[in-house]
Structure 1
Amino acid sequence: MKKSILPIVFVVFAFLFATISYKKDNEKNKAANPEVINPEVIPDDFNESRAFPFDSTLVQPFFVAYPELKKYQSDVKTLYRKHQYNYIWYDNNRINEVGNLLYIKLNNLDEEGIEAEVPYKDTLYSIFQNPEQVQNPNVDDELLLSSLYFFYAEKVFRGLDAKKIAQMGWYLPRKKQSYVNYLDSLLTNPSLLNKDERELFGQYYRLRELLKKYRQMNQKGEWRAIETDPKIKSFIPGDSSKTIGEIRQRLFQTEDIATDSKSAIYDAELATGILKFKKRNAYALDEVILPKHIAAMNVPLSERIKTIMVNMERCRWMCSCVYNAKELIFINIPEYQLTYFIDGKKALISEVVVGKAMNKTVVFNADMKYIVFSPYWNVPKSILYKEILPAIKKNRNYLAQHEMEWYGNSVRQRPGPKNSLGLVKFLFPNNNAIYLHDTPSKDLFKQEKRAFSHGCIRVAKPVELANLILRDDPKWTPEKIDAAMNRGVESWYPLKNKIPVYIGYFTAWVDDDGAIHFYDDVYKRDPSLASLLFKK
């Protein structure tokens, strides 16, 4: 028994001896270097920068010394309270990766479509060009980086404030983001500063790439106006002209054709390029070249660049969560187009008619909740007083001729093929009284510019839209949908799954193939936005 105890006693003794020796060595190290941290108390998520706290009373004097950054003082204080006033931008006594990336981004702010002076840019430059400052934590440098981070987040991520964009008629929801908390994501994954589609609407990054490309074209100085002969009203395949050669060069510059043969003859290769150009600029797809097409080709690159930047700003206002919905209907007013997304893929594309300049379609969102078959059209009061009553005075049979009737103190149009709403409407209840609907005026969809309505949106493919919405509903088949649309008796059907509808306004858009499309600024909103974004 005594023999079996001896090995155990020996092990215990050895353990105690090692522990005492370790503590003595650790105490010697701490005496020699007070900043050594006892590894026994280091948490799992320890970041070495937390070994460098600073005096919280130094925050206030910083903003006295740097008054141009004072608007970010509250955010900075919140940030450091969260991090217990430890240095954020330093690791191992050096400015960390996200700090260096922020510096690069601030130096290249124009790549983000931003025209703004970075406050205290010279001071920032001196920090990163001075090895001592890069390698030694300094409170002023730390606070400058934090303040400029919030400056960058405001300009690139958030954009103009909500009040200003509402004044421009934009009522789509914006993502609520705490940029104090978002910095934690950047510290974990600095590459998000280059691209984060969870933070910015994905279209933003496509436009950013095209901004770079258009600036490169502009720097080459090869964008010369195409000369035209006022006597020539159009070109068709087979025509020969010096102008044709210049058009070919322009389409090569805009990548609508792959090569420039220098030929002055309108051949098949050029015709293919013309169709691509027309598609990108929302023209009717035929091979005839008219003066208006050449005028579009002659828009200066500087103007195209501004248009791209204006639409990058609009992307900042969009919640990146838009395309996370299982189903989504998106209407782009200047494009006159509706796109129905299912699981992120385009399931239906339809031309639309939107409100004319005097009756602008509102930029907003709501959930589609009902389909109404064989609808009545309840004439809005504004239309009743401005159009219907004057028409009745001129022609007392006006109501009967248009399948209309008095309904209380209002007028409504009975269901049927003459009904202004067509055979079906799609309701997403909202304060703007806007909805999607069919129309008997099908010819309007052949027009290039389709701003004709009183604000509601007319859909070229209402039958396809109804069938797609109800595709999984066992109560409905294509035959039943057709019967309900043509029954002449109004019937409402509540949707089992509400579908988000977003109505937006983008005059530049990059498609899935990387080609940029430019659309007519139907409501003339680009200039007012540009005046807020660009230097005088």
Structure 2
Amino acid sequence: MRNSTALYLFVITGFFLSSFGFAGNSNAIIHSKPALNESVSLSVISTYGFTVDNETIIKFFQTYPKLKKYQNDVLDLYKKRQYNTIWYGDKNISEFGHLLYEKVDLLKEQGIDKKIPYKDVIDEIFTESVTEKPSQTDTELLLSSMYVFYASSVYSGEDAATLKKIGWYLPTKSISYSRLLDSLIVNPNRLNKDDYLLVGQYYKLQEMLKKYRAIEKDNLWKKIAIDSANYKELRPMDSALVISQIRERLFVVGDLKQDSKSNKYDEELMAGVLNYKKRYGLKLNYTLTLEHINQMNEPVGNRIKTIMLNMERCRWIPAKLSQASEYVMVNIPSFRLVYVKNGKYELVSDVFVGTRMTETVIFNGMIDRIVFSPYWYVPQSIINNELKLKIAADKNYLADHNMEWNGGRVRQKPGPQNSLGLVKFLFPNPNDIYLHDTPAKSLFEFEKRIFSHGCINVKEAKNLALSILKDNPDWPVEKIDQAMSGQKETTCMLKNKIPIYIGYFTAWVSDETGEISFFPDVYDRDKSLDKLLYSDEVVMK
């Protein structure tokens, strides 16, 4: 459990810090080089009648103030290239410059709904019918600004300082735009897909974005017509006109392979309903309630926006995550934990997480120990806000709940009714959050599982311990069983620490089925991110 004063912070995955040491050199033609004793900051290269130097660059951003946020990165591009032109391979703009312009025009395919400032001026550069184009100097620096805009929007997303403000405490990747540019010029195909820059989940979501936009464009997302006041829950073998509408929707999104147009809730539809509920993290049964129909009737635009927001989150994740040999990942909105080893899912478990008042934090750590039959040291906030009142009302409360005072603190003794269950997994962190078992197994029956004080309660906690230790000869199954008997606290220090990532994704495409799942925005993280990304949309355009 974590101290409840650490409120309103959040989560899937802190991930390995990634560095991008790209090889290759710029294709720009060098017509002269500065003298060896010349200061780099004052280097001037003459190219086709115009010069690029610090003063010229600074003056450019005074002329185009809405691009000023890219000034430092643009300066860095030219310093690394001794102020040579980047975008002219001859007297014309290079093919790579044209390709980059095309990609900027297709940002919506990347789930990005914004435009670079002065887009109309940039359009003039590439429009043959325009006779009065920007000067070569302005063209050069407009394209460099456009590159930084594109690279930061697609490959980086929001900066680390902004992410911390919204409660995303996972390490972010670091990209050198200069080295990245070298790599892209050598191999422009990396603009289409680059597994070294973006985690594979990003491209899976991108395909789903195309699918759902096509559904929207073709008007296939038809509202399911019901009388809410008189709606009767639907069950297998029922017959009703609305069933054919549900069947059509499930066919459109892929839960059914065909649409028989039948009004009967038959076995084929039953399978489709189960698949739909599985994708949405709902309780797996055949009943279709009014709530389910209302969920299906949410506008397709909502699904599209959810995909876009989660593509943005994927931009923050270092691509090396998928290459890790072993890790634990928790996704808060799906209430699910996975333990991955050697590229395979060793274990998948339901979890429940913190309430809105004690939200589970989004961060990463390293699991370094497993504690069997643990004591639970009650956080001071719980003592102050809950226990003191109960102790005052019942002097036997501590004894009746297997608790005791210990060094001025209250702790619950080991045992099957201990609030941490029979095992916990520790990864040192300032929020005092950890994974643990729980005696409250009935809580896993709920669809929306936000019950804890911030810790992550794991349904398959024992199996997680068995999976982690299965190759450890010092901890056979019999020893683990004995340690989990609830008699005394026993600690197992792991020989190899295991990365754990606690993340927050409301849309995720399965690696196994290729199907997209949507999960509830339990902490209103989507709303906050939507506001962050699009509140200044008018200014950006």
> Same fold per TM (> 0.5)?
yes
Q: Equivalent residue for 2:490?
A: 491
- 8 Å CA contact 2:25–2:182 kept in 1: the answer is no
Higher share of residues assigned helix: 1
Evaluate the alpha carbon distance shift between residue 46 and residue 247 of structure 1 in structure 2; reply closer, same or farther with a 3 A threshold. Answer: closer
Amino acid at match of 2:118: Y
Q: Equivalent residue for 1:50?
A: 30
Amino acid at match of 2:219: G
Larger radius of gyration: 1
- Of residues 189, 192, 197 in structure 2, which corresponds to 1:191? 189
Deviation at 1:487, TM superposition (A): 5.0
Deviations 1:240-291 (A, max 9, x none): 0011011011111111111111111111111111011001111111111111
Amino acid at match of 1:184: D
Deviation at 1:323, TM superposition (A): 2.3
Amino acid at match of 1:427: L
- 8 Å CA contact 2:28–2:89 kept in 1: the answer is yes
Q: Equivalent residue for 1:19?
A: none
- Provide the secondary structure at the position in 2 that maps to 1:228: coil
Evaluate the alpha carbon distance shift between residue 45 and residue 211 of structure 1 in structure 2; reply closer, same or farther with a 3 A threshold. Answer: closer
Work out the CA distance in 1 between the residues paired with 2:341 and 2:495. Answer: 16
Aligned-residue sequence identity (percent) comes to 51
Evaluate the alpha carbon distance shift between residue 401 and residue 117 of structure 1 in structure 2; reply closer, same or farther with a 3 A threshold. Answer: same
Deviations 1:69-114 (A, max 9, x none): 2222221121112112222223354433432221111111122121
Amino acid at match of 1:494: M
- Provide the secondary structure at the position in 1 that maps to 2:258: coil
Compare 409-418 and 53-62 and name the one that shifted more.
Answer: 53-62
**1:221-260 counterparts in 2 under 5 A?**
221-229=219-227, 230-260=229-259
Q: Equivalent residue for 1:417?
A: 416
- Of residues 184, 192, 201 in structure 2, which corresponds to 1:203? 201
Structure 1 position 530 matched with structure 2 position 510: no
- 8 Å CA contact 2:369–2:494 kept in 1: the answer is yes
Deviations 1:486-531 (A, max 9, x none): 1511111211100000000011111122211110111112112111
- 8 Å CA contact 1:237–1:268 kept in 2: the answer is yes
**1:397-476 counterparts in 2 under 5 A?**
397-476=396-475
Compare 357-366 and 222-231 and name the one that shifted more.
Answer: 222-231
Deviation at 1:400, TM superposition (A): 1.1
Deviation at 1:292, TM superposition (A): 1.3
Amino acid at match of 1:294: I
Deviation at 1:191, TM superposition (A): 1.3
In structure 1, stretches of 5+ residues that fail to align are 1-43
Q: Equivalent residue for 2:515?
A: 515
Deviations 1:421-457 (A, max 9, x none): 1111000010010000011111111211111111101
TM-score (norm 1): 0.88
Q: Equivalent residue for 2:120?
A: 122
Work out the CA distance in 1 between the residues paired with 2:415 and 2:25. Answer: 69
- 8 Å CA contact 2:52–2:85 kept in 1: the answer is no
- Provide the secondary structure at the position in 1 that maps to 2:333: helix
Amino acid at match of 2:29: S
Work out the CA distance in 1 between the residues paired with 2:295 and 2:495. Answer: 46
User: What is the alpha-carbon root mean square deviation over aligned residues?
Assistant: 2.1
- Provide the secondary structure at the position in 2 that maps to 1:357: coil
Work out the CA distance in 2 between the residues paired with 1:487 and 1:64. Answer: 70
Work out the CA distance in 1 between the residues paired with 2:381 and 2:26. Answer: 66
Q: Equivalent residue for 2:64?
A: 66
Deviation at 1:376, TM superposition (A): 0.2
Q: Equivalent residue for 1:33?
A: none
Deviation at 1:370, TM superposition (A): 0.7
Q: Equivalent residue for 2:19?
A: none
Deviation at 1:132, TM superposition (A): 11
- 8 Å CA contact 1:159–1:317 kept in 2: the answer is yes
Evaluate the alpha carbon distance shift between residue 301 and residue 177 of structure 1 in structure 2; reply closer, same or farther with a 3 A threshold. Answer: same
Work out the CA distance in 2 between the residues paired with 1:223 and 1:322. Answer: 35
Deviation at 1:47, TM superposition (A): 4.2
Residues matched between the structures, number: 492
- 8 Å CA contact 1:94–1:137 kept in 2: the answer is no
Work out the CA distance in 1 between the residues paired with 2:157 and 2:28. Answer: 34
**1:120-519 counterparts in 2 under 5 A?**
120-130=118-128, 138-229=136-227, 230-512=229-511, 513-519=513-519
Work out the CA distance in 2 between the residues paired with 1:72 and 1:283. Answer: 45
Q: Which has the higher contact order (CA 8 A, sep 6+)?
A: 2
Work out the CA distance in 2 between the residues paired with 1:81 and 1:45. Answer: 14
Work out the CA distance in 2 between the residues paired with 1:400 and 1:63. Answer: 71
- 8 Å CA contact 2:66–2:117 kept in 1: the answer is yes
- Provide the secondary structure at the position in 1 that maps to 2:230: coil
Deviation at 1:151, TM superposition (A): 1.0
TM-score (norm 2): 0.87
Work out the CA distance in 2 between the residues paired with 1:236 and 1:487. Answer: 44
Amino acid at match of 1:145: L
Evaluate the alpha carbon distance shift between residue 45 and residue 498 of structure 1 in structure 2; reply closer, same or farther with a 3 A threshold. Answer: closer
Work out the CA distance in 2 between the residues paired with 1:100 and 1:528. Answer: 36
- 8 Å CA contact 2:376–2:412 kept in 1: the answer is yes
Deviation at 1:396, TM superposition (A): 1.3
Work out the CA distance in 1 between the residues paired with 2:432 and 2:465. Answer: 20
- 8 Å CA contact 1:367–1:499 kept in 2: the answer is yes
Amino acid at match of 1:287: Y
- 8 Å CA contact 1:275–1:286 kept in 2: the answer is yes
- Provide the secondary structure at the position in 2 that maps to 1:420: coil
Work out the CA distance in 2 between the residues paired with 1:240 and 1:115. Answer: 43
- 8 Å CA contact 1:90–1:137 kept in 2: the answer is no
Work out the CA distance in 2 between the residues paired with 1:292 and 1:392. Answer: 41
- Provide the secondary structure at the position in 1 that maps to 2:190: helix
